[in-house]
Amino acid sequence: MNATVILIVLIMCFLTITLFALVSMFILRGKEQNREEVRAVADVVAELDKSLDAAISEINKMGSLVQKDITDKHNEILFLYNLILDKQKEIENVKDGDIISEMVEQYLQTHSAQLQLLTDENKNITAPEIVEAEEVEEVKKARKRPVFTNPKHEEIWNRRELGQTNAEIAKDMNIGQGEVKLILDLADRAS
């Protein structure tokens, strides 16, 4: 009987140790699964951080480009504003008659040799036709091509170079004649 009790106690001890080992193994396995889940969540968070950093970087680049564009447009507007103020001061300081006589004098100085040739040779072609044709060619040769930052301004320049008038350019491009004249005047000053 004593041996049976000892055997039963040993079996009970063996079962208790086995049960304890199984419970410990399940607990350790659960902790390992929790660690893997935590690692997976950490990896997802790290990927989201990288994506967010990339998005913020792109937003910063885009912001810089927009700011540069705004600054360029602001400088262009200031330039145009100052140009308009200068023209306004010139107009206020000069009387209408003075402007017309100055323009006629400049025209005659520029084209006096051509007009003299026409009268000397006594050709059947009228002087204004020759002067206009030669004047267009001289102006085209004398003009240096400015550097354009706006494709619309370059198109206006090109159309004038092809012989279109300000009115034709304005009509074709659906803009005002004043805008065409201003852009061409600015381009002529820059060249």
The number of C-alpha atoms within 13 Å of 61 and in the hemisphere containing its C-beta is: 6
Q: What is the pLDDT of residue 108?
A: 60
| pTM for the structure as a whole | 0.31
Tokens matching residue 118: 């026409």
- Mean pLDDT across 9-36: 82
Say what percent of the chain tops pLDDT 70. Answer: 70
The whole-angstrom separation of Cα 130 and Cα 178 is 28
**Contact present, 159 and 169 (Cβ < 8 Å):** yes
The number of C-alpha atoms within 13 Å of 56 and in the hemisphere containing its C-beta is: 6
Q: What does each C-alpha distance from 170 to 1, 50, 66, 178, 185 come to in angstroms?
A: 121, 51, 29, 9, 15
User: Based on the number of CB atoms within 10 Å of its own CB, is 15 exposed (0-12), middle (13-18) or buried (19 or more)?
Assistant: exposed
Dihedral (Cα; 97, 102, 104, 106), 10-degree rounding: -170
Tokens matching residue 169: 């350019």
- Whether the pLDDT of residue 17 is over 70: the answer is yes
What is the DSSP secondary structure assignment for residue 150, as one 8-state letter?
S
- Mean pLDDT across 19-33: 80
The whole-angstrom separation of Cα 191 and Cα 77 is 19
| Least confident among 26-30, 97-101, 149-153, 180-184 | 97-101
The whole-angstrom separation of Cα 95 and Cα 21 is 111
Q: What is the pLDDT of residues 126-183, one digit of tens each?
A: 444 444 555 655 555 555 677 778 888 889 989 998 999 999 999 999 998 888 998 8
